[in-house]
Amino acid sequence: MATIKEFDDKLDSLHNTEKMTRTMKLVSMSKLYRAQEDQRRSSVYARELNLLISRLSAAARESAHPLLKARPDVKNVLILVFTSDKGLCGGFNNNLIKFVKAWIAENDSAYENIMLSFCGKRGYAHFRKGAFLENYYEGVTSYPNFDNAVRVSLDLAQQFVNGDYDEVYLAYNTYISALSQMPTISKLLPIDPMTFKGNETESKIINAEYLFEPRKGRLLKFLIPKYIYFKMYYTLLENAAGEHGARMTAMDSATKNAEDLIRKFTLLRNRARQAAITTELIEIVSGAEALK
């Protein structure tokens, strides 16, 4: 059995670990609430933007904007993978990486080239030795902001317009709850004009007659990039919410495990101390009996 000193050292280490994991859980909880609030506000903006473009749906033909133009023969595909920069968030990154690998294996025969770009250090570190690495946007996922979303979107849009890639996809974890994040791959470019057609409840509003200034075509060319910027920004927020939720859950589990180990080793230390006391009492009594 270990000595009392060894048990004390182990308990000190476990107490420090428990304090660290509890603190990380609280920090992740605070960041999660902030990311969820940003998502809520962004959802309102998204609805209004889509509704406005829906009113221009008659002008939303492929010829209205280069980002709407689908390629007849899709050969080159780019996937932008969103992961976290830091670890200690359970299977958040590994699940997405496995999902991307499975998607590539399933669709490899359909395309000539599938390239990967990355927002997040963990995904980049995993795939960087491969031959299909295109770009790495450093520091984008740690602090999601609209400026980074615009920068990445402009880069991807330019590659699409130049013909470097026929389709562009986003791979990220959809935030469902703090306990659950679902790996997702969705198409970013080209934009499907049907995206802006609206739903049945808004059909009366969309089909109403409006006077536009400037004209529909010019207004649509202005709004389409805004749609791409926002979708990129919302994906960053989705990734951040998933990361903080996963880390909060992982740190909560780690804290509970540390508490269980503290109780276990406290009991073992008390037993060891009691055994030591009992041994000393036996020696004292034996010595006293020997002196009689």
Q: Which residue has the tokens 């830091």?
A: 86
Question: What confidence tier does 57 reach under pLDDT thresholds 50, 70, 90?
Answer: low
Helix (H, G, I), strand (E, B) or coil at 173: strand
Q: For strands 76-82 and 133-137, give the pairing.
A: unpaired
Cβ contact 127:116 at 8 Å: yes
> pLDDT (tens digit, 9 = 90+) per residue, 120-163?
899 898 888 776 788 899 888 888 888 899 999 999 999 998 88
Q: What is the pLDDT of residue 195?
A: 66
* Residue ranges, CATH 3.40.1380.10, the chain: 27-249
91, 161, 177 from 50: Cα distances, Å: 33, 23, 25
The answer to whether residue 62 scores a pLDDT higher than 60 is no
Token pair recorded at residue 58: 């008659």
The class level of CATH for 4-21+250-291 reads mainly alpha
First to last CA, the chain: 34
Cβ contact 178:267 at 8 Å: no
Q: What is the pLDDT of residue 211?
A: 63
Pick the closest to residue 223 from 56, 47, 40 (CA basis): 56
Phi-psi group of 199: left, alpha or beta (phi > 0 → left; psi -120 to 50 → alpha; rest → beta): beta
Residues 44, 166: Cα–Cα separation, whole Å: 31
> pLDDT (tens digit, 9 = 90+) per residue, 225-267?
888 888 898 889 888 888 888 888 889 888 989 889 999 988 8
The partner residues of 173 in beta bridges, in order of sequence, read 183
Cβ contact 62:193 at 8 Å: yes
Q: For strands 167-177 and 180-189, give the pairing.
A: antiparallel
% residues pLDDT > 70 (the chain): 85
* Residue ranges, CATH 1.10.287.80, the chain: 4-21+250-291
> pLDDT (tens digit, 9 = 90+) per residue, 175-233?
888 788 889 998 888 887 676 665 444 444 444 555 666 676 677 777 788 888 888 98
Q: What is the pLDDT of residue 205?
A: 46
Pick the closest to residue 88 from 140, 181, 25, 176 (CA basis): 25
Write the DSSP assignment of 17-43 as a string of letters.
Answer: HHHHHHHHHHHHHHHHHHHHHHHHHHH
The class level of CATH for 27-249 reads alpha beta
The answer to whether residue 46 scores a pLDDT higher than 80 is no
Q: What is the mean pLDDT of residues 33-38?
A: 82
Token pair recorded at residue 260: 């269980």
Q: Which carries the bigger pLDDT value, residue 97 or residue 281?
A: 97
The partner residues of 174 in beta bridges, in order of sequence, read 182
Cβ contact 250:90 at 8 Å: yes
Q: What is the pLDDT of residue 36?
A: 80
The answer to whether residue 56 scores a pLDDT higher than 70 is no
Pick the closest to residue 108 from 138, 77, 152 (CA basis): 77
Q: Which residue has the tokens 């615009």?
A: 150
> For all residues of the chain together, what is the average pLDDT?
82
Alpha-helix runs per DSSP H in the chain: 4-54, 92-107, 121-127, 146-161, 203-206, 216-291
Pick the closest to residue 11 from 274, 268, 255, 253 (CA basis): 268
| Residues 110-142 as b or e (16 or more Cβ within 10 Å = b) | eeeebbbbbbbbbbbebbeeeeeebbbbeebbe
The answer to whether residue 80 scores a pLDDT higher than 80 is yes
Q: What is the pLDDT of residue 168?
A: 92
